[in-house]
């Protein structure tokens, strides 16, 4: 089982709709989770991180974490064409203070105008 798993997509969403991206992880000890966005030909950029069960909102983005189900998701409200990118989920592995981020393979999102 991969440490961090994502549906590779592609996921197509109409403009203005909600895009839902999902990620599961295998290590119950993981405490925090990160979402990165990567445009084609560019490097990943941090969107947000979450470490508490429940929701965390930042503008049009909402991260949701369910540690019991080992599930983390990213919702993008009012999707825009500029949101078209690959979204990477990541979780740290290792002992506190000595972790490394392990990434999923990413979900390719396309917003259809």
Partner 1 sequence: KAGVTQTPRYLIKTRGQQVTLSCSPISGHRSVSWYQQTPGQGLQFLFEYFSETQRNKGNFPGRFSGRQFSNSRSEMNVSTLELGDSALYLCASSAGTGGSSGNTIYFGEGSWLTVV
Window contacting partner 1 (CB under 8 A); options: 13-21, 65-73, 75-83, 86-94: 86-94
104/90 Cα distance (integer angstroms): 6
Burial class of 107 by CB neighbour count within 10 A (0 to 12, 13 to 18, 19+): buried
Question: Using an 8 Å Cβ cutoff, are 99 and 30 in contact?
Answer: no
Interaction pattern, residues 1-40, with partner 1; x per rule: CB under 8 A: ------------------------------xx-x-x----
As given in the structure block, the two tokens for residue 2 are: 């991969």
Using CB under 8 A, pick the residue from 13, 21, 74, 88 that binds partner 1: 88
User: Which residues contact partner 1 (rule: CB under 8 A)?
Assistant: 31-32, 34, 36, 42-46, 49, 51, 88, 92, 94, 96-106
């Amino acid at each position: 089982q991969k440490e961090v798993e994502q549906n590779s997509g592609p996921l197509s969403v109409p403009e203005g709709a909600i895009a839902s991206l999902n990620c599961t992880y295998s290590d119950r000890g993981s405490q925090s989770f990160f979402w990165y966005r990567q445009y084609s030909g560019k490097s990943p950029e941090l969107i947000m991180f979450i470490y508490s069960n429940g929701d965390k909102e930042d503008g049009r983005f909402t991260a949701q974490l369910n540690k019991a189900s080992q599930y983390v998701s990213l919702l993008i409200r009012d999707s825009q064409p500029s949101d078209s990118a690959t979204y990477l989920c990541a979780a740290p592995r290792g002992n506190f203070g000595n972790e490394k981020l392990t990434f999923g393979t990413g979900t390719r999102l396309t917003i259809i105008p």
